[in-house]
C-alpha cells in the first residue's frame, strides 16, 4: 500500500512539474518510506500515542547527499528545471527552512491576520539563520526571464550535479501542494497528512468536473475558499445568472458535492424568514464518493455474474482440455464469437473495478 501511494504521488508530480522532478521525488519517497509497512497507523496493532506519532514521523528526513547517492547516473538532472541568474533569486525565500509541519487551515478571517504576522516573523527568522547569502536581491515582478535547461548554454550545463538536484528539490518544496518540506540544512521530509489531503481534493475536483462541468467545479471551489454563502452572494461572486446557479447547485446537492443549511432570522422557525446557505464539506463528499464507488463495484460484479450465466454453455466448452488454449482453432465460429464478446466485456468490467478500487484506496487508505 505504501508503494502504491508513492506511485500515485510520483504520477501527480509528473503531471504538475515534470518527469525528471517526478523521478527525484520517487527516489526521495522510497528512502523515506523504506521502513514503513502501512500508510496509516492501526489502533489495534500500533500503541503509539498521537503526539509521539507526529514527532516520530516529523523526525524522518533524507539528506541531499543520501538522495544524490541513490540517483542513477544516467539521469540528466539538468532537464526539467528553469534557469535564471543568481541576482534574480532570493536565497532566503527559496531555501527557507520549516522545522515543523504546516498547521491545518483555519477560518479565512483568522488566516488573513495570522498570515500577515507569520510573514513578518518569517522575514525576521530568515535573517537570523546562518549559511544564507544576504546579498541576493528580491525578484522583481515581470522582470525575471526564465530559460529552460533544453536551451541552456555551456555555462548552465556545467553546473554540478548536486546543485541541479537542489533545483528539483526546491521546485518540490516551493510548490503550492507542498510535496516536500525543507526541514534542516540539506534535509528534506514529506508531510503525508496534508499532502494526501491535497491529492484527495484534487481527485474530488476531477470527479466534480466530469459530472457537473467546469461551472460546477468553479462553484465548489468558491464555496471551499469563501465558506458558506447564500444564492445571491454566490451568483454575484461566480458572475453567473441566478437560475443557472440554482440549477447547478441543486444538481450537485443530489450528487452529494454541496450541502445547504437553513438559518432562521428569529426564534420562530419560518421557511419564508430564513437564510439558506450553501457550503462544501469535502469530508462528506469524499465519504459519499467512496460509498458510490463500492456500489458501482458491486454492480460491475453482478453484471459479470449475469454474463457468465448467459454464456455458461460456451464457458464450459472452453474448460475442456482439448479446447483450452486452442479456442479459435477448435470452436465453431458462432461459439467463438460469443466467447470473444464475453472476454471483451469481462476485461472492461474488471478494468472499471480496478479504477474504482484505486479511487477508494486514495480516498480511504492512503
pLDDT tens digits for range 168-183? 888 888 888 889 888 8
pLDDT in tens, 296-307: 999 999 999 999
Q: What percent of the chain has pLDDT over 90?
A: 24
* pLDDT above 90: residue 348: yes
- Average pLDDT for residues 299-326, to the nearest whole number? 89
Please give the mean pLDDT across all residues of the chain. 78
**Which CATH number is associated with domain 198-280?**
1.10.10.10
* pLDDT above 90: residue 74: no
pLDDT in tens, 334-346: 888 898 999 999 9
Angle at 20 between CA 362 and CA 357, to 5 degrees: 15
State the pLDDT confidence band at 270, using cuts at 50, 70 and 90: low
State the pLDDT confidence band at 199, using cuts at 50, 70 and 90: very high
What are the boundaries of each domain within the chain? 2-190, 198-280, 285-365
* pLDDT above 50: residue 113: no
pLDDT in tens, 24-67: 999 999 998 888 878 776 666 655 544 444 443 444 888 888 88
pLDDT in tens, 228-254: 888 888 888 888 888 888 889 989 998
pLDDT of residue 54: 44
State the pLDDT confidence band at 140, using cuts at 50, 70 and 90: very low
pLDDT of residue 109: 41
State the pLDDT confidence band at 76, using cuts at 50, 70 and 90: confident
Amino acid at each position: 500500500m505504501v508503494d502504491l501511494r508513492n506511485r500515485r504521488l510520483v504520477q501527480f508530480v509528473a503531471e504538475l512539474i515534470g518527469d525528471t522532478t517526478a523521478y527525484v521525488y520517487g527516489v526521495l519517497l522510497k528512502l523515506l518510506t523504506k521502513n514503513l509497512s502501512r500508510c496509516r497507523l492501526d489502533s489495534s496493532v500500533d500503541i503509539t500515542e498521537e503526539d509521539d506519532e507526529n514527532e516520530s514521523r516529523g523526525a524522518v528526513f533524507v539528506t541531499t547527499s543520501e538522495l544524490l547517492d541513490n540517483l542513477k547516473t544516467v539521469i540528466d538532472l539538468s532537464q526539467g528545471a528553469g534557469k535564471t541568474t543568481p541576482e534574480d533569486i532570493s536565497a532566503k525565500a527559496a531555501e527557507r527552512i520549516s522545522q515543523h509541519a504546516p498547521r491545518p487551515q483555519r477560518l479565512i478571517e483568522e488566516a488573513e491576520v495570522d498570515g500577515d504576522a507569520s510573514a513578518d516573523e518569517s522575514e525576521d527568522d530568515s535573517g537570523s539563520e546562518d549559511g544564507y547569502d544576504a546579498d541576493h536581491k528580491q525578484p522583481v515582478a515581470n522582470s525575471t526571464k526564465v530559460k529552460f535547461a533544453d536551451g541552456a548554454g555551456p555555462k548552465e550545463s556545467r553546473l554540478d550535479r548536486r546543485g541541479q538536484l537542489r533545483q528539483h528539490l526546491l521546485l518540490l518544496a516551493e510548490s503550492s501542494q507542498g510535496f516536500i518540506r525543507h526541514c534542516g540544512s540539506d534535509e528534506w521530509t514529506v508531510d503525508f497528512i496534508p499532502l494526501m489531503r491535497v491529492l484527495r481534493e484534487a481527485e474530488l475536483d476531477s470527479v466534480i468536473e466530469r459530472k457537473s462541468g467546469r461551472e460546477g467545479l468553479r462553484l465548489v471551489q468558491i464555496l471551499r475558499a469563501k465558506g458558506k454563502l447564500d444564492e445571491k452572494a454566490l451568483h454575484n461572486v461566480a458572475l453567473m445568472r441566478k437560475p443557472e446557479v440554482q440549477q447547478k447547485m441543486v444538481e450537485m446537492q443530489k450528487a452529494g458535492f454541496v450541502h445547504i443549511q437553513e438559518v432562521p432570522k428569529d426564534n420562530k422557525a419560518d421557511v419564508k424568514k430564513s437564510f439558506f446557505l450553501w457550503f462544501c464539506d469535502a469530508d462528506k463528499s469524499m465519504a459519499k464518493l467512496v460509498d458510490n464507488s463500492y456500489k458501482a463495484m458491486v454492480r460491475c460484479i453482478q453484471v459479470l455474474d449475469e454474463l457468465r450465466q448467459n454464456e455458461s454453455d460456451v464457458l464450459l466448452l472452453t474448460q475442456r482440455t482439448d479446447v483450452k488454449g486452442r479456442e479459435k482453432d477448435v470452436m465453431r465460429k458462432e461459439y467463438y464469437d460469443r466467447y470473444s464478446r464475453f472476454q471483451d466485456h469481462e476485461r472492461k468490467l474488471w478494468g472499471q473495478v480496478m479504477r474504482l478500487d484505486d479511487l477508494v484506496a486514495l480516498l480511504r487508505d492512503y
